[in-house]
Structure 1
Amino acid sequence: MAQFTVPCSVYRGGTSRGLFFHQKDLPQDPNLQRKVFLAGIDAYNVSQVNGLGSGTSHTSKVVVISPPSVEGADVDYTFYQIGIGEEIVDDKGTCGNLMAAVGAFAVDEGLVDLADHEQEMVEVSVFNTNIGKMIKLQVPVIDGKAKVSGDYLMPGVYPSGAKFIVDILEPGGGKTGKTLPLGAASSLFIGNKKVDVSFVDVVNPFVYLSSRSLGIKGIEPNHELSMNQQLLKELEEIRSHSAVEAGMEKTVVEAKLAPAVPKLAIVSEPQDYVTSDGKKISKEEVDIVAKMVSMGRFHRTFAGSGLYNLAAAVLLPGTLPNQLAQNMDNRKNQVVRIGHPEGIAEVRASLTTDGHDVAFVGLERTARRIMKGDLYIPR
């Protein structure tokens, strides 16, 4: 059977990787466009061997770049989470890691004015259509392209690279209209069990619950927790019921058919633990310890959108992350140290003057273009 081609680039941003397209290069027919995404990643097979995914939620992603629709933006972009063994194309959330790659793409593709070729950093303003938020990026440049090499080493990616600075302005309420649509903390009843959660809508909406409420420490290896099918089932019930309570979906069935958001994270107080590669982390090095579940699986590290969200949640009074975090001094503007399965992420976050909402969240990432060419799609 013959195939057709679509111009495509593959970028890594932070600990995520995705297919990048210009909107103008994609078919106008939404169904055909969906087929490009599904086949390009290979959503049909769990291994994604027939496409450019690799069977993980952080590499099963698509980004589409289009001309700016709002004043002050250099480009718009729309993010899609693609299914793994399922025909899912979900645009309800966004990806915090690939934001850095959007800046690299905009520079590499000549979508940003680089009149001063001697500058080492260029500011790129992008508008994310998924959450309706403006993102300010400081992109390192060299010879008119996004710089790749550098000495910034971020957890989960080796070797080091050039530092990209990402700031999301007024990040709350992108999907529900409120940063805390259910208040700082609320109770759910799943069957006969009462579960305390915090639903925080910052960048991507997240559901938080404490490790103690699940009868675990929160520092167990991912592979161990992944074998606990009863735990995974319980987490999905909590996630889907929370989506209904927050008004994101009308029914639990609909929530289960939209697995990308809200995402879910398990949080615990600072404690000594060992990363997936054997590095020892002491409780004094972190302010909170967390694991997240995305698309029904434990995330290898912690999604960029989740890092933004969790840092904000730690600062917001009364949330479960706020209650569990330690080593904090109640400042409204600070760096939050998040312990995750592959190390420590330091996230900048600031509350508004009244302390009731989030002014911005920020993170440092690395990014690079991996390839550019024609993507072949079966007819």
Structure 2
Amino acid sequence: MTQTGIPYVFMRGGTSRGPYFNRADLPTDRETLAEVLLAALGSGHPLNIDGIGGGAAVTTKVAMLSSSQDDWADVDYFFAQVSVEDRLVDFKPTCGNILSGVGPAAIEMGLVQATAGETEVKIRAVNTGARVVARVQTPEGRLTYAGDAEIAGVPGKAAPVALNFMGVVGSATGAFLPTGNLRDKFDGIEVTCMDVAMPMVIARAADFGLTGYETVAELDANRDFFARMEAIRLAAGAAMGMGDVSKSVTPKFGLLAPARDGGTIATRYFMPWNTHPSMAVTGAQCLASCALTPGSVADGLLDRPTESPASVVLEHASGTIDVLVDFEMNNHFTLNSAGLLRTARKLADGKIYVPARIWEGA
């Protein structure tokens, strides 16, 4: 055999897609695992022509599932971000959009038994330690992808997947404000460095001479902005205790501006070397938390909700995303949990093949 076949389920989760594997079907050592994922996705070519990636960061993501080793959880979810062209695999972050498909995929794989009406799947995000409860539609005990839920960035309607995130504060750095400050300044730009579900560096669009309403294409074409943003991200990453982040997708970068379409605040999110076509689930939680925190760079950009839970509507490049934030405001902002509604759909299943010279199989 010149190739090794690995069982997988190909899913769209939220506004991302990629293969979902049973962790037991993959190499145990991290180095070989990375090579297998690079081959499976086709990293190293702008179109991922020799793999199943889609030539964009939102289509080169991987979920690896297993029965949880945590007494609380049903499923362990291990995430990998595979680069499109650079042949890099980043195991540090997690992805909330791909997480949207974890509950359905776990049922598809037989890791969780569906119950009548709705199935609650308790998920431990291995990369960050976050705990997430997913509620998946299973009428008559059977998984369905049909429904009336709509999310910006995905055409059509599908069955809703309700997600409730807990334990996401300081998930990567151990602190809500990793630098210890509500605001820092790098290269003359004020930012808030915050770690809620995803470590982020958040700035005001106007401080870069932007409106905050630019399209994805307009932002991606603005290479001067990206060069300055990356310099700030690298400096902020070091200040956040994350070391040299030049080859890591974290911390992510976000921009804020006053809402103009009826939302709470306008946002743009970066992955970080190009603009996200919509909004990451993890990034949405961090941006919503920043919007609610007095003293952050969001000051003056919104009428800040004061009662909990608060619905924070983030305007993004493709529409809006609603984050229901349960919080406390004593001397400072404290996040209890964040809820979002997503959808997912199974696209294919079977085996994906990688050259046997990379891995001969279990």
Task: State the TM bucket, normalised to the shorter chain.
Answer: over 0.9
Aligned residues: 355
Which digits, 9 at most, give the CA deviation of each residue in 1:76-123, with x for residues without a partner? Answer: 011111111011110111101111100111122222233x4xx21111
> 1:361 aligns to what?
338
> 1:372 aligns to what?
349
SS of the residue 2:96 aligns to? coil
SS of the residue 2:120 aligns to? strand
SS of the residue 1:236 aligns to? helix
Equivalent position to 2:297, from 316, 320, 328:
320
Alpha-carbon contact 1:349-1:362 (below 8 Å) kept: yes
Which digits, 9 at most, give the CA deviation of each residue in 1:133-183, with x for residues without a partner? Answer: 111111111354432010111111111011110011131001111111224
Q: Percent identity?
A: 29
> 1:279 aligns to what?
none
SS of the residue 2:162 aligns to? strand
In structure 2, distance between residues paired with 1:108 and 1:63 = 14
Provide closer, same or farther for how the CA distance between residues 34 and 350 of structure 1 changes in structure 2, counting only shifts above 3 A.
same
After the TM superposition, which residues 345-356 of structure 1 pair with which residues of structure 2 at under 5 Å, given as runs?
345-352=321-328, 354=330, 355-356=332-333
- Normalising by structure 1, we get a TM-score of 0.90
> 1:34 aligns to what?
34
Matched, 1:257 2:234: no
List alignment gaps of at least 5 residues for structure 2: 358-362
In structure 2, distance between residues paired with 1:143 and 1:34 = 39
After the TM superposition, which residues 215-294 of structure 1 pair with which residues of structure 2 at under 5 Å, given as runs?
215-249=209-243, 254-258=244-248, 260-271=249-260, 282=261, 285-294=262-271
Equivalent position to 2:315, from 339, 345, 354:
339
In structure 2, distance between residues paired with 1:109 and 1:142 = 18
In structure 2, distance between residues paired with 1:73 and 1:314 = 30
Once the two structures are TM-superposed, the CA of residue 349 in structure 1 deviates from its matched residue by 0.7
AA in 2 matched with 1:13? G
Provide closer, same or farther for how the CA distance between residues 165 and 50 of structure 1 changes in structure 2, counting only shifts above 3 A.
same
Alpha-carbon contact 1:205-1:262 (below 8 Å) kept: yes
CA root-mean-square deviation: 1.6
Alpha-carbon contact 1:58-1:303 (below 8 Å) kept: no
Once the two structures are TM-superposed, the CA of residue 128 in structure 1 deviates from its matched residue by 0.5
After the TM superposition, which residues 128-167 of structure 1 pair with which residues of structure 2 at under 5 Å, given as runs?
128-142=125-139, 144-167=141-164
AA in 2 matched with 1:301? S
> 1:201 aligns to what?
195
SS of the residue 1:97 aligns to? helix
Alpha-carbon contact 2:252-2:270 (below 8 Å) kept: yes
SS of the residue 2:245 aligns to? helix
In structure 1, distance between residues paired with 2:108 and 2:6 = 18
- Normalising by structure 2, we get a TM-score of 0.94
SS of the residue 1:126 aligns to? strand
SS of the residue 2:173 aligns to? coil
SS of the residue 1:58 aligns to? helix
